């Protein structure tokens, strides 16, 4: 059975073409030397193996990566 991969940008929903340079983003936790752990945003260039990860976001370019970061910062800012 063929497995057809199709990615869509998690911000603008455009489909990914083969030659396009996309970005991946996800959050993990970082723990300051003093204090409690907090969420941090990670962005990296497209990696085929990372792109399968369940909680990773697919971003079609810098503009959508910035939009994603803006949204994340707003949600983090609301926690303080």
Helix/strand/coil for 71 = helix
CB 80 within 8 A of CB 39: no
State yes or no: residue 24 binds Zn ion (CB under 5 A): no
Q: Which is nearer to Zn ion, 12 or 73 (CB)?
A: 12
State yes or no: residue 62 binds Zn ion (CB under 5 A): no
Q: Which is nearer to Zn ion, 24 or 60 (CB)?
A: 60
CA-angle at 75, arms to 77 and 42, nearest 5°: 95
State yes or no: residue 73 binds Zn ion (CB under 5 A): no
DSSP 8-state secondary structure symbol assigned to residue 52: G
The CB-of-22 to Zn ion minimum distance in angstroms stands at 9
């Amino acid at each position: 059975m063929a497995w057809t991969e199709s990615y869509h940008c998690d911000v603008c929903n455009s489909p990914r073409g083969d030659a396009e340079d996309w970005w991946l983003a996800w959050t993990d936790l970082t723990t300051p030397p003093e204090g409690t752990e907090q969420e941090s945003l990670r962005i990296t260039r497209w990696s085929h193996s990372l792109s399968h990860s369940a909680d990773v976001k697919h971003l079609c370019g810098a503009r959508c990566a910035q939009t994603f970061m803006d949204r994340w910062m707003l949600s983090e800012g609301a926690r303080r």
